[in-house]
Amino acid sequence: MSYNLLSESIRKYIRDKRWESLRPIQAAAISKILSTDNNYILASRTASGKTEAAFLPILSKTNFNTRGVQVLYISPLIALINDQFFRIEDLCKDLEISVTKWHGEAKKSLKTNLIKNPNGVVLITPESLEAMFVNAPYNVSELFGNLKYIVIDEIHSFLGVDRGLQLMSILSRIQQVNNTKIIIIGLSATIGDDNYIEAKRLTGDIDITKILLDRAKKETKAKFKYFNSNGAELSLELLKDLYKETATNKVLIFPNSRGRTEEIAVKLRKISDLVKGHKLYFSHHSSVDKEIRESVERFAKNNKRFNFCIACTSTLELGIDIGTVDKIVQIDSTHSVSSLVQRIGRSGRREGEISIVNLYATDKWSLLQSLACWNLYKSEFLEPIYTAKKPFDILLHQLLSILKQLSGCSRTELFKRIRLNPTFKEITEVEINSLIDKFIELDYLEKIDRELIVGIEGEYIVNSREFYSVFKTEPNFKVVHSGKKIGNIPFSPQIRIDENILLAAKIWKIKDIDFKGSKIIVIPTNDGKKPLFFGGVGNIHKRIREEMLRIVKSNIEYSELDDSSCAVVAEMRNDFKEFRINNLQFDCPIIEKEGTLLIYTFTGSKINRSLSFLLSLTGLVPSLDDHSSSFELAINKSGFNQLIQELKSKYENINEYLLIELKENESLIGFSKWGKYLPLDYQIEIVKERFYDFENTIELINNINLVET
């Protein structure tokens, strides 16, 4: 009985709450955390009580009557800290343990109080920790020098991304100011059996990190619908159908882009006005003003009675508690199976409820991709997570941060700290030393006597407000109506006086633009276009594309499809009927006409991108359409074998070609915030590791088999 292992005051908390029983993940976590000193990853679906699963045993086991913060909770979102603050404070208040929020929007006086009397539990972001290391390193050891536990919430959101490497490095740096081993507990959504190793890696010690997994899943019902939309805007038929499907429910609609959330919120509200339906249509994404977003979240969470509809982006995919909704609508395919899992998890969150998802498609490839994601969802596939092995860019960032933290140190000391840090384990001693030499040469670091300090160029980087985060952000215009902020939109040609834009589910006319102050003054109006947003491109995993090909070549009937989507699948099956496909990975349908070759690769975006780069080196102008995973090449089939040989020989000198490309096209390294500061030979390595996928591309080139009708 896990309950009996807890301290009396924690048991009293549970009795007072009148919990009938502990959830499975809670029972498991309590007995393991209380009886061992291992790190644990608690993996289970949203709203399964993971926060309590971690905090009940931690609070039960920890002595808070010693100096220093005892428990550090790290979250990827400020909003989640504010949410969790109430839950954790509720747990702590009878135990007389203090809980302090520490992030960019938290009260300064509370931070000052904590510095005067370091104790209890602290809730913080990775960026605030980075800032503390750089600006007030004495606070780090004062506050966290006697730390017992670190709890990382939504740990899956850190895996396979730069921000996770930064966090991993910070964890190591916190451990380096402690004498005793800090125990790390990660809270995670389900991320697939093969990916737990990456969550373990983040804690810094794979061997002593164990997984507690609750596999309980909910039944999900899906319904596919197809409405072809040729133009830039959604067809009226789709919108009418969408209205019918959502008018009498509590619904989240995910249309994959900010512009489209606005289009949907405004147009559904118009339809609703015409038929005297409810008026509760909202949009929720990063460009909507924070206060407006929070009011939408509060409404969704507290409202029990009214139906509503929120058109949103991935802002409502992560852990913020907005209560339960009846239905999820996905407009065009998600870019990954993981994303589909998270979104579906937002509906029917109460015990025993099934999840309902409507999947709309506006073109045939999107329908096929969506169906592929749904099949993979059912077979419990999740995209593999890859953690960069040689993150030279994060190394530069952390070298500067550590030198600033120490106000300079010997080269031996700096080297030692990097070697102790598991984030940079795969980077060799030779590489570290040669990078330090290069950084001294470039004035990022400076050598004074036997000490290294931050150099003149390094100071510009470290002292910038942008230093604390490892991700990039775009410049924005503030959108203001009669003194009230509506949101932020990126610079675009559409921003002109008298143009209309959609934002926060309303239509606005631009009255004035203040270019200097990056401000747009607007007034409400009745008709408008979507605002334009510019983003990067999505990366579709090759398994999704293989599943698309499998569907096209099979004759399985799917009861989830409506008549028109059934017809579209049938049409695509007919298009590919004559191709004999035996191997989903390497057999590629081709169509040859008038000196051009159309090749369907049915493979991942990174592979297509790498292949496109290699093809361009041969002098061809490959027109890649990643949406349909196809290339059009100005060659005959007879020339293909020779082309394959050329691609292989180009790959032998790939570093040379990437060097030329990086010199000509600086934006190639744009995915990495600090990459542009690296010497070019190191830029080549991170571009190869993180932007392209030549390993799988070469495998495809070696095995590709063109299939004609």
Chain positions contacting DNA, by CB under 7 A:
76-79, 103-105, 125, 127-128, 131, 135-136, 163, 232, 256-259, 285-287, 313-315, 333, 335-336, 339, 365, 369, 465-466, 468-469, 471-473, 533-540, 605, 625-629
Q: For residues 141 and 257, which CB has a smaller minimum distance to DNA in the complex? A: 257
Q: State the nearest-atom distance from the C-beta of 544 to DNA, in Å.
A: 9
Q: State the nearest-atom distance from the C-beta of 692 to DNA, in Å.
A: 15
Q: For residues 135 and 235, which CB has a smaller minimum distance to DNA in the complex? A: 135
Question: Residue 449 in 3-state DSSP?
Answer: coil
Q: For residues 181 and 472, which CB has a smaller minimum distance to DNA in the complex? A: 472
**50 membership: H or E segment, kind and range:** helix 50-61
CA distances from 467 to 126, 168, 251, 394, 401 (A): 12, 17, 39, 11, 9
Q: State the nearest-atom distance from the C-beta of 134 to DNA, in Å.
A: 7
Return phi, psi of residue 581, to 5°: -110, 120
Q: What CA–CA distance (Å, rounded) separates 691 from 701?
A: 18
Q: State the nearest-atom distance from the C-beta of 375 to DNA, in Å.
A: 17
With contact defined as beta carbons under 8 Å apart, do 120 and 45 qualify?
Answer: no
- Strand arrangement of the beta sheet that strand 409-410 belongs to: 409-410, 451-454, 445-448
With contact defined as beta carbons under 8 Å apart, do 369 and 544 qualify?
Answer: yes
Q: What CA–CA distance (Å, rounded) separates 572 from 372?
A: 14
Distant-in-sequence, close-in-space partners of 253: CB < 8 Å, separation ≥ 6: 242, 246, 261, 264, 309, 310, 311, 312, 329, 331
Distant-in-sequence, close-in-space partners of 335: CB < 8 Å, separation ≥ 6: 256, 538, 539, 540
Q: What CA–CA distance (Å, rounded) separates 296 from 290?
A: 10
With contact defined as beta carbons under 8 Å apart, do 694 and 654 qualify?
Answer: yes
Q: Which residues pair with 522 in a beta bridge?
A: 510
Q: For residues 91 and 123, which CB has a smaller minimum distance to DNA in the complex? A: 123
Neighbours of 112 (CB within 10 A): 9
Q: State the nearest-atom distance from the C-beta of 384 to DNA, in Å.
A: 15
Q: State the nearest-atom distance from the C-beta of 357 to DNA, in Å.
A: 18
Q: What angle (nearest 5°) sits at the alpha carbon of residue 615, between those of residues 614 and 618?
A: 95
DSSP assignments along 406-417, one per residue: HTSEEHHHHHHH
Token pair 């999704």: residue: 544
Q: State the nearest-atom distance from the C-beta of 161 to DNA, in Å.
A: 7
Q: For residues 302 and 534, which CB has a smaller minimum distance to DNA in the complex? A: 534
Q: State the nearest-atom distance from the C-beta of 616 to DNA, in Å.
A: 18
Nearest to 332 by CA among 291, 358, 305, 360: 360
Q: State the nearest-atom distance from the C-beta of 681 to DNA, in Å.
A: 27
Q: What CA–CA distance (Å, rounded) separates 271 from 524?
A: 19
Give the CA dihedral 171, 177, 182, 185, nearest 10 degrees. -20
Burial of residue 271, with CB atoms counted within 10 A of its CB: 0-12 exposed, 13-18 middle, 19 or more buried: middle
Nearest to 502 by CA among 250, 270, 297: 270
Q: What CA–CA distance (Å, rounded) separates 619 from 93?
A: 69
Q: State the nearest-atom distance from the C-beta of 539 to DNA, in Å.
A: 5
Q: For residues 272 and 333, which CB has a smaller minimum distance to DNA in the complex? A: 333
Q: For residues 418 and 588, which CB has a smaller minimum distance to DNA in the complex? A: 588
With contact defined as beta carbons under 8 Å apart, do 335 and 540 qualify?
Answer: yes
DSSP assignments along 57-68, one per residue: HHHHH---SSSS
Token pair 């349908």: residue: 589
Q: For residues 301 and 472, which CB has a smaller minimum distance to DNA in the complex? A: 472
Q: State the nearest-atom distance from the C-beta of 671 to DNA, in Å.
A: 9
Q: For residues 179 and 667, which CB has a smaller minimum distance to DNA in the complex? A: 667
Q: For residues 375 and 629, which CB has a smaller minimum distance to DNA in the complex? A: 629
Q: For residues 427 and 607, which CB has a smaller minimum distance to DNA in the complex? A: 607
Distant-in-sequence, close-in-space partners of 704: CB < 8 Å, separation ≥ 6: 586, 588, 644
Length of the chain: 709
Q: For residues 102 and 281, which CB has a smaller minimum distance to DNA in the complex? A: 102
Q: What CA–CA distance (Å, rounded) separates 604 from 469?
A: 29
Q: What CA–CA distance (Å, rounded) separates 280 from 466?
A: 38
Q: For residues 306 and 471, which CB has a smaller minimum distance to DNA in the complex? A: 471
Q: What CA–CA distance (Å, rounded) separates 587 from 600?
A: 9
Q: State the nearest-atom distance from the C-beta of 286 to DNA, in Å.
A: 3
Q: State the nearest-atom distance from the C-beta of 245 to DNA, in Å.
A: 22
Q: For residues 269 and 335, which CB has a smaller minimum distance to DNA in the complex? A: 335
Query: What's the token pair of residue 407?
Result: 């106000």
Q: State the nearest-atom distance from the C-beta of 545 to DNA, in Å.
A: 9
With contact defined as beta carbons under 8 Å apart, do 145 and 178 qualify?
Answer: yes
Distant-in-sequence, close-in-space partners of 268: CB < 8 Å, separation ≥ 6: 239, 242, 243, 246, 281, 309, 311
Q: For residues 258 and 349, which CB has a smaller minimum distance to DNA in the complex? A: 258
- Report the first-to-last Cα separation within the chain, whole angstroms: 65
Q: For residues 32 and 101, which CB has a smaller minimum distance to DNA in the complex? A: 101
Helix%, strand%, coil% for the chain, nearest 5: 45, 20, 35
Q: For residues 318 and 409, which CB has a smaller minimum distance to DNA in the complex? A: 318
Q: State the nearest-atom distance from the C-beta of 364 to DNA, in Å.
A: 12
Q: State the nearest-atom distance from the C-beta of 381 to DNA, in Å.
A: 17
Q: State the nearest-atom distance from the C-beta of 224 to DNA, in Å.
A: 17
Q: Which amino acid is at 391?
A: P
